[in-house]
């Protein structure tokens, strides 16, 4: 029996609030499956399971705040979901409704002798399947039926021997949904949150099982922190009852305060404990800009690239070339990262900052990296990040060019050992081959941990970034 514990989702996390379970007792879970939604001081995160097995017991109720490492649930070994496909051995009784092969069903000698009255073979499997104690359905199907409000006794199973399958339950639940209000499948936390935020559940599209509305769906449908500043004609529209807005504003303010406190504590520790050194260089982007224009000219609008994609890919490939900057400083020594997982700094609505990871960014083709970046930023701002995305980054990139900043020197996110900064692409006069001209350039900076590397290593990294950006066909 293994314990599923509250994970550490960043160096600044000491505790988390369990908002919602995505699975229940008896559910089969696999390594990497999201099983719970946890709220930290900075974001709402879907936490993945650490191993494969059966969720046997939930130890913490939604709404509870517990320290990192606290057991949240117990996971047992994976259970067999279907009966073995072989005929029962002679002398061993078997369940009447559990024959695995249709050809073996009508054999009277195989039926258990204790039965007082033999039943005709064509009738026995269906009648046995109707008995409450002999409903042929696995634990997962029973749990799904209980969640969906489906009566297993009323179903005629489509599986072998009349066994009720997951598809049977899903079809019955879908048919039942047509006769009930769409608000019938709402988690308790989502219903309470909707009341606090003034969200009409009838307008929310559920993303849970059987289209159930979850807490994350309600948050996404709720008005953002800037809602009170909307134009007068929008604010005056009778969409939400006005008394709800003040009560919804307070949790937002508390969340922002908690987030700033968490960031302040982590950055104070980083500045105190990490001996930073800083380097910068100016990169000529003329070749990259020409290549980008030509690529976008031949590409559909939805697949075009932005300069940030080239900058991120160059940063990832350079980290692969200079692995001394791609990893962690823990227990007074450097440990290299298993792959280049590029943390991307994302500013959140209402303030705050997270840096989720683009896994294996060095191996992504540019179009895929661009799509992954869009998806990551969207989910970061709507509270749909995964636990691995907020804890696996091996090196972080911050790009403030869209804010008009030309140079940025960041603070390293521990236990990482480096942070790369990119500013705004600007046109500057440059001397090239003895001739003066105007060319697009960007300032690339590096903040690095002097315990793990020195200036020579950092210079190699920035040189690699420059070379890659001046040869965009290598990206």
Q: What is the pLDDT of residues 144-159, one digit of tens each?
A: 677 667 777 777 777 6
pLDDT band at 333 (very low <50, low <70, confident <90, very high): very high
pLDDT of residue 132: 40
CATH 3.30.559.10 assigned to 276-474: yes
pLDDT of residue 111: 46
Tell whether the model's pLDDT for residue 209 goes beyond 90: no
Looking at domain 182-222, which of 4.10.320.10, 3.40.50.11890, 3.30.950.10, 2.40.50.140 is its CATH number? 4.10.320.10
Using alpha carbons, list the distances in angstroms from residue 129 to 115, 123, 126, 271: 16, 10, 5, 68
From the list 133, 97, 129, 127, the residue with the least C-alpha distance to 112 is 97
pLDDT of residue 191: 73
Tell whether the model's pLDDT for residue 465 goes beyond 60: yes
Beta-bridge partners for 352:
none
CATH 2.40.50.100 assigned to 2-76: yes
Q: Average pLDDT of 65-76?
A: 92
Beta carbons within 10 angstroms of residue 347's beta carbon = 15
pLDDT: which is higher, 212 or 474: 474
Q: Average pLDDT of 330-351?
A: 90
Tell whether the model's pLDDT for residue 225 goes beyond 70: no
- DSSP reduced 3-state for 162: helix
pLDDT of residue 113: 47
Q: Over the chain, what is the mean pLDDT?
A: 79
Tell me the C-alpha distance between 462 and 460, whole Å.
6
pLDDT of residue 244: 37
Question: For the chain, what are the domain ranges?
Answer: 2-76, 182-222, 276-474
pLDDT of residue 84: 41
Q: Average pLDDT of 403-412?
A: 93
81-135 tens-digit pLDDT: 444 444 444 444 444 444 444 444 444 444 444 444 444 444 334 333 333 445 6
* Range in 238-252, 312-326, 330-344 the model is least confident about: 238-252
* Range in 106-120, 159-173, 212-226, 336-350 the model is least confident about: 106-120
pLDDT of residue 417: 97
**What share of the chain has pLDDT > 70, as a percent?**
74
pLDDT band at 140 (very low <50, low <70, confident <90, very high): low
CA dihedral 105, 110, 114, 120 (to 10 degrees): 40
Tokens of 161: 């021997």
DSSP tag of 323? G
232-283 tens-digit pLDDT: 333 333 334 333 333 333 455 666 777 778 888 888 889 999 999 999 999 9
Tell whether the model's pLDDT for residue 297 goes beyond 90: yes
pLDDT band at 415 (very low <50, low <70, confident <90, very high): very high
Tokens of 31: 């390594």
Q: Average pLDDT of 416-427?
A: 96
pLDDT of residue 86: 44
């Amino acid at each position: 029996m293994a314990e599923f514990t509250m994970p550490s989702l960043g160096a600044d996390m000491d505790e988390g609030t369990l908002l919602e379970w995505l699975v229940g007792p008896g559910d089969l879970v696999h390594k990497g499956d999201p099983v719970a939604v946890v709220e930290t001081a900075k974001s709402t995160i879907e936490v993945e399971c650490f191993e494969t097995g059966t969720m046997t017991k939930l130890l913490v109720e939604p709404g509870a705040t517990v320290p990192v490492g606290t057991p949240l649930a117990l996971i047992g070994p994976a259970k067999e979901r279907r009966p073995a496909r072989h005929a029962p051995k002679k002398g061993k009784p078997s369940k009447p409704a559990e024959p695995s092969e249709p050809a073996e069903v009508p054999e009277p000698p195989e039926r258990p002798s204790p039965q007082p009255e033999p039943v005709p073979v064509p009738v026995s499997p269906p009648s046995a399947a109707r008995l409450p104690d002999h409903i042929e359905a696995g634990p997962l199907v029973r749990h799904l039926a209980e969640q969906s409000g489906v009566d297993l006794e009323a179903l005629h199973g489509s599986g072998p021997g009349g066994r009720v399958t997951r598809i049977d339950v899903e079809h019955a639940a879908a048919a039942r949904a047509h006769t009930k209000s769409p608000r019938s499948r709402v988690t308790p936390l989502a219903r309470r949150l909707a009341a606090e935020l003034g969200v009409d559940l009838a307008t929310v599209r559920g993303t849970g099982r059987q289209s159930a509305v979850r807490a994350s769906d309600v948050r996404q449908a709720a008005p953002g922190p800037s809602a009170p500043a909307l134009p007068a004609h929008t604010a005056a529209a009778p969409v939400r009852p006005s008394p709800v807005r003040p009560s919804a504003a307070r949790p937002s303010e508390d969340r922002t305060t908690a987030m700033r406190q968490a960031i302040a504590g982590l950055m104070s520790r980083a500045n105190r404990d990490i001996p930073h050194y800083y380097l910068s260089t100016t990169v000529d982007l003329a070749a990259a800009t020409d290549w980008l224009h030509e690529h976008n000219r031949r590409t559909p609008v939805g697949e075009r690239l932005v300069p940030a994609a080239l900058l991120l890919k160059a940063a990832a490939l350079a980290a692969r070339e200079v692995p001394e900057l791609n990893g962690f400083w823990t227990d007074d020594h450097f440990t290299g990262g298993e792959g280049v997982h590029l943390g991307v700094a994302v500013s959140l609505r209402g303030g705050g900052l997270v840096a989720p990871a683009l896994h294996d960014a060095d191996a992504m083709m540019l179009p895929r990296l661009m799509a992954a970046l869009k998806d990551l930023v969207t989910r970061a701002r709507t509270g749909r990040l995964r636990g691995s995305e907020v804890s696996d980054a091996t090196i972080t990139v911050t790009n403030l060019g869209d804010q008009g900043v030309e140079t940025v020197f960041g603070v390293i996110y521990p236990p990482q050992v480096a942070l790369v900064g990119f500013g705004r692409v600007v046109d500057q006069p440059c001397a090239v081959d003895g001739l003066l001209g105007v060319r697009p350039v960007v300032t690339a900076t590096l903040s690095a941990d002097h315990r793990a590397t020195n200036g020579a290593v950092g210079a190699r990294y920035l040189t690699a970034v420059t070379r890659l950006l001046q040869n965009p066909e290598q990206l």
